[in-house]
Amino acid sequence: MKKGTILNRELNEVIASMGHTDYLIVCDAGFPIPSGVKRIDLALKKDVPDLETVLSLIAGDFIAENIYVAEEVETNNAPLYNKLKEIFPGVEIGTMEHQKILSEMACKAKAIVRTGAFDPWGNVILQSGVNVPQWFDKPGIVVPDYYKDKM
């Protein structure tokens, strides 16, 4: 049996298939998922599972290089913004127009994980990164300046 904490087969497969800079969206229950994008639907009822639970589990198996949320999140949903900083310490949180997340970014995602969350602007884009110490551990390899703080 699998040793990790995530039991959902589809979610494990998507995380394992992520490449550097790929997008994984973890969204609330109302997110309009485009028909051509892989959907992992975990929603059972209002707030089950919630964003915090799903994001925390994903954080244990996923290297996020960047996180993006709607421009409104920091002001209008500060609990979510603060929780993201706690779950993904040291990862930069960028913002973009909410409509861009719902349309353009949804179509670019490798997969979208739907939670049962009833959270305003509760849609989080995780951009896949690399394990910097493992990628730059061979003798003679020069670590780029933008990765030096991750060594």
> Is there a contact between 26 and 57 (Cβ–Cβ < 8 Å)?
no
Residue 20 appears among annotated catalytic residues: yes
Task: Choose, from 4, 7, 20, 34, the residue flagged as catalytic.
Answer: 20
Which residue from 101, 104, 3 is spatially nearest to 60, judged by alpha carbons? Answer: 3
> Is there a contact between 150 and 131 (Cβ–Cβ < 8 Å)?
no
Which residue from 15, 17, 37 is spatially nearest to 102, judged by alpha carbons? Answer: 37
Catalytic residues: 20
